[in-house]
Each structure stands twice: as C-alpha cells, then as structure tokens.
Structure 1
Amino acid sequence: MSRFEILLPYYGDVQLMQDAVHSVLAQDGDDWRLTVVDDGQEPEVPGWFEALADPRVRYFRNEVNLGVTGNFNRCVELAEYEYLVLMGCDDLMHPNYLQVIRAALDRYPEAGLVQPGVVVIDGAGRPTESLADTVKRRLYAPRDPGPVLMSGEPLAMSLMRGNWLYFPSICWRTKAVQAARFRSDLGVIQDLAIVVDLLLAGESLALTPEVCFSYRRHAVSESSVTAFTGKRFEEARRFFRETADRLDAFGWHRAAAISRRFLSSRLHALSMIPAAGRRAGLRGIAAMLSHVAGLRV
C-alpha cells in the first residue's frame, strides 16, 4: 500500500538534484513514490528522467516558472498518498529515512508532522555547523530530543522563539498541508507560516532524534543583494506581527507576545551587519539595524 509521496520541487544545479533523486531511490519498502516537479529549463533534465525509467518516479516540467512558493503548492496539489515530504532538491535522504519516519508514525499515529534527526552539510557535501545551526540546536531546539509529541501553545512558543525545524526533512500529513497551502505573499518564511497554520488547526509534531537526513546549507553569497538590503527582514517583521495578532485572537497570548518580539530574527540581522556593510554599505547597515530595533519601516 502506497503511503509516502516524496515531492522534489526542482530548480537549479542538475548534479545536486540527481544526487537527491538517487538518495530517494535508496529507500526501502514499496510504500512510497517520488514526484519531481521541474520549475527550470535545463535541457538535459527531461531526458535524464526518461532514461532513468523507474516506475517509482514521476516527472513533471512546469510550462511556466512558478517560483519557489508556487512550485511548492504545485507539488502539494500532485500528492495523492497519506503523507508527503517536500524535500529540497539539493538535500539527501539517508537510506534509513523512511524507516525512521515509519517508526515515529507507529509511535505517534496522531502526528500531523514528523521532524527526524538531521545533519547539516555544506555545498560540497561535507558536515558543517554554521552559526545559524549552532543557535538552533543550543538555544531554540527542545532540550528533550525525543521521541516526543509536541503540540498547542507550548510548541508555538518554542517556534516563535526560534524556528529550530529543518523544513525539507519533515514528513507531513498530506490532507493537512493541502488544506493550508503555502502563502504566495511570503518568499522566505513560508515554511514557518504553514507550521503555524497547522498548529492552529490542531495538528501535532512528532520529534524523533535518529539522524536520517542531510540538509544542505549553502553559504550566503555576499553578491546577493536581497540578503543585505533588508527585504527578507521586512517580510519577517510583517509575518511575526501578523502571527502575533492571530495567536492573540486564538487565545495563545504567551506565544503571541514572543512572536511580537521576534527576537531570533532580530539577532540574525545583528549577526549580518558586518557582511551588510561590506556588500551594501551604509544602506545595508541601516537595513539590519532597523530590523534589530524592530522599527516599523
């Protein structure tokens, strides 16, 4: 019986995508299918999937570019099985990924999300530990690594302090994600937004410590203008303030207060001030400082 829809929204490096696909094909069992949705134009990709000729793999190419969030929603629309994984096209499943997820769902069948253990790798596939990941693990992640079931306002409070989830590694209940969908008005923080939607809808999260997924974190390029002009933080401010209002209306006042402070996002901007100064000069520094101060700009 098919149970897991592994979705791969693809755009970018062909070799990394192929490595991701091969990591999925190494999964055991006959209860899963891989669905790849190509949002790019690399000419060799359709032929590669045709030559792969694996009945466990479906391949689609979008007629027009949908962008990150649009392609996420397209993938979710195509999901037909009970659970889905929205995997990054440069990430890697370990051969035990589905074994870990099955065990977690056997333990917590009511869970709408499963967060397994993750190792972080760099662009070359080497284990790495960035400042962001150190902060996630030591400051924001639960002290109890699991197995544990989390839900309600305590989980919302934890995630508003700092998002310690690794979105591409999560297994989701398909109907829950299809009911929520990813917000088209968000370009960076849509992963946390949909988790908030699911928590408010009553879903719970199963946390299990066994490592079974490699999350690839690329270094932030100093040539990326959007990383240092403050646009990503404008979105974050808007999201956390809107979310605080929603949490207040739901009666989760402690979580709302934490969201309204958005401290982890402000600390992130603080850490980026030196790079912002090098790349965007005073404009970049001012953008980071305005977010650190929580200004309404």
Structure 2
Amino acid sequence: MTIDVMFPYYGDVAMMKAAVSSVLAQTDTDFKLTIVDDGFPDDSLPAYFEELVASDDRIVYFKNETNLGANGNYRKCVGLIEHEIVVIMGADDLMKPNYLATVRAAFENPEVDIVQPGIEVIDENGQVYLPLMDRIKAAMRRSLVGKASSAIVEGEALAANLIDGNWLYFPSVAWRASAIKTHNFRQGYDVVQDLALALDVIMDGGKMFVTGTVCFQYRRHRESDSSVRALDGRRFAEERRFFDEKVREFTALNWTRAARAARFHVTSRLNAASLLPKVVSKRMWPGLRTLSAHVVKP
C-alpha cells in the first residue's frame, strides 16, 4: 500500500533539500513523493527538481503558475492525493528513517483516521531542544493519553484537550485519505488550519492513534511566519475567529466541555500575554492592542 508524501514547498532551499533527502532515506520505500512548488524565487531550483524527478520514479513535481499561499497550496496537495495514507510534509522538517514504517503500522487498525507519532523538536541548526511551548504540549498530551506508549483517542475529550493546548505537530501527522479529502483545509485560515482540519475529522467521528515512537523531527524557528504573525497580532485575531466558530459548532453537537474550552481558550490567552513585553519592546502598538484584547476579552 503506497503512502502519499505530499510536499508543499516555499522557503529555505537547503532545508527543503534536507527534508527531501529524509523522505528518500526511509526504510519503508513504498511511497510517492509529490512536490508542489509555490514559486519560491531561486534560480537553482529548476535544475534541482528536474534532476530529482529524473533520478527516482517515485517523485513527481508540480509548480504553481501563481503563488497560492500556504492554505491554497495545502488544498492543492489534497486534490493530488492518490493513495489511502497521506502525510503533508513540512518543507523544513525531517523524517527519521522509521517514520513511514511507524505510521503504516498504525493504520493497520481500520478505525484510525489520524496518526500523531512521537517527535523531536529541532532548531534552525538541526539541534534537538525542548522549549517551553513544547514542554507544555507534552504535558497536555499526557493529560489525555497518560503514560501509555500508544493510545487511540476520540470524541469530545480529544477535541477539548486540543483546544486547551494544541499538541499536534501537523507536518508529522499522517491521515487516512478519505478523512482529509472529505474535510480538506478550511479556507481563510493560515495559522490554525491544521487544528481546524483535525477537529473537523474528530467531530465527524474520526479516531486518532497516538504513539510515543519517535520518528520525526519538527523544526521550530525563532522567527517563523507564525511568530511574526503572533507579534503583530494577526495570529491571535485568527485564533479568536476560530475559537468563536468552534464554540458554535461544539454547542450544536452538545459538546459542552469542548465549547467551554473554546470559549475560554486559556492557553492561547497565556501565549498572547507572554508576548506582550516583546511587543512593547519593539513598539508594535497595533499588535499590542490586538494581543491585549485577546488576553482580556471574554
């Protein structure tokens, strides 16, 4: 059973090449790597991609005629899925050699729609580290699955837990194709699009397999797009809109615990509060107003 590795690309060239190499180094070799280039401006790329495709018949390449942005390129990737299992790989992250074998084994359970494997966080230089954000994520994950090496989780308990503190690492998550095709990425979201998709699957009865087997390296940049969006307030404006939407949807399902978690979104508020000193130091006054409102507004 071939696994689709979808690879939306726009960004650092060296990190992209390392990510591609990590896919090609998998012990499980039954995969199709589909690269969807959103038009990153680098003159060396055409020759690289041409050579890459010529060297391995498991690789296909598309270049968008116009830049679609993250959400649009992810949605295009969903439209190109051909096989039962799919991962939408981050173009600066790294698969460890056992990644595909690990997620394939998890999908042997026909009830599983989402797989979250164990991950390591790496910095810009590829060094493993564990910042505060990821220690909190690990604690939130343990609060749901306990100390078990693996568990299947579902329903309102999972939705409320992810709203309280999203511990998913989207580029490492594998999906059953039918689930991701049914729901796709909601348009209008650029920061929370991954959580929105996961919750749509969960609200539709989808089950998640969580395993502690470490098989993926997630790269956390100090000045990532999401970090910049956080400081100028765009991230939290989007999160506010998303949480308001989830309150309505959870209420319609009679998921009162999840609706309450979405209404108060405590971790998101704490994250905004932690950034206030940095926003002040940079004199980003519009961002300060947005973050302050996010922290205090009920």
Which interval holds the TM-score relative to the shorter structure? over 0.9
Q: Distance in 1 between matches of 2:283 and 2:228?
A: 8
Which of the numbers 173, 178, 194 marks the counterpart of 2:176?
Answer: 173
- Alignment partner, residue 65 of structure 1: 67
How far apart are the structure 1 equivalents of 2:105 and 2:210? 11
Contact 2:233/2:288, CA 8 A, preserved across alignment: no
2:20 counterpart residue number? 21
CA distance in 2, matches of 1:37, 1:117: 26
Residues 237, 290 of structure 2: 8 Å contact kept: no
* Structure 1 outlier segments of 4+, above 2 Å: 28-31, 138-146, 224-227, 280-287
Which residue of structure 2 lines up, in the alignment, with residue 47 of structure 1? 47
- The code of the aligned residue for 1:102 comes to R
Partners of 1:272 and 1:255 in 2: CA distance: 26
Question: May I ask how many residue pairs the two structures share in their alignment?
Answer: 292
Is the Cα contact below 8 Å between 1:121 and 1:214 reproduced in 2? yes
Q: 2:200 aligns with which of 197, 202, 216?
A: 197
Please tell me the residue identity of whatever aligns with 1:60. F
TM-score (norm 1): 0.94
| Structure 2 match to 1:123 | 124
**Identity rate of aligned residues, in percent?**
45
Query: How many angstroms does 1:167 deviate by?
Result: 0.6
Instruction: Supply the AA of the counterpart residue of 2:104.
Output: R
Aligned to 1:214: 217
Contact 1:277 1:284 in 2 (8 A): no
Query: 1:128 Cα shift?
Result: 1.5
Q: Which residue of 2 aligns with 1:137?
A: 138
CA distance, structure 2, for counterparts of residue 282 and residue 31 of structure 1: 51
1:253 maps to which residue? Answer: 256
The match for 1:97 is 99
Match of 1:158 in 2: 161
TM-score, normalization by structure 2? 0.93
Query: Are the aligned partners of 1:228 and 1:287 in contact in 2 as well (CA < 8 Å)?
Result: no
Structure 2 counterpart of 1:146, one-letter code: S
Whether the aligned pair in 1 keeps the contact of 2:183 and 2:200 (CA below 8 Å) is yes
CA drift of 1:46 comes to 2.4
Distance apart, 1:146 and its partner CA? 3.4
Gap change, CA 1:281 and 1:72, over 3 Å in 2: closer
Distance 2:140 2:36 in 1: 35
Distance 2:77 2:189 in 1: 17
- Which whole-Å CA distance do the structure 2 matches of 1:145 and 1:43 have between them? 48
Partner of 1:219, secondary structure, is coil
Query: 8 Å contact 1:237–1:294 — kept in the other structure?
Result: no
- Identify unmatched segments of 5+ residues in structure 1: none
Cα distance in 1 for partners of 2:287, 2:103 equals 42
2:232–2:284 contact (8 Å) kept in structure 1:
no
In the alignment, the residues of structure 2 paired with residue 150 and residue 221 of structure 1 have an alpha-carbon distance, to the nearest angstrom, of 30
Secondary structure of 1:5 counterpart: strand
Give the match's secondary structure for 1:114: strand
Calculate the aligned-residue CA RMSD, in Å.
1.7
**Mapped partners of 2:66, 2:46: distance in 1:** 15
- 2:237 maps to 234
Q: Give the deviation of 1:144 after TM superposition.
A: 3.3
Q: CA deviation at 1:225?
A: 5.6
Mapped contact 1:9–1:75 kept (Cα < 8 A): yes
Q: In structure 2, what residue type is equivalent to 1:16?
A: M
Cα offset for 1:145? 4.7
Please state how far the C-alpha of 1:263 moved relative to its aligned partner. Answer: 0.7
1: CA distance, partners of 2:163 / 2:10 = 29
1:102-136 superposed Cα distances (whole Å, 9 cap, x missing partner): 22223x33100000000000011101212211111
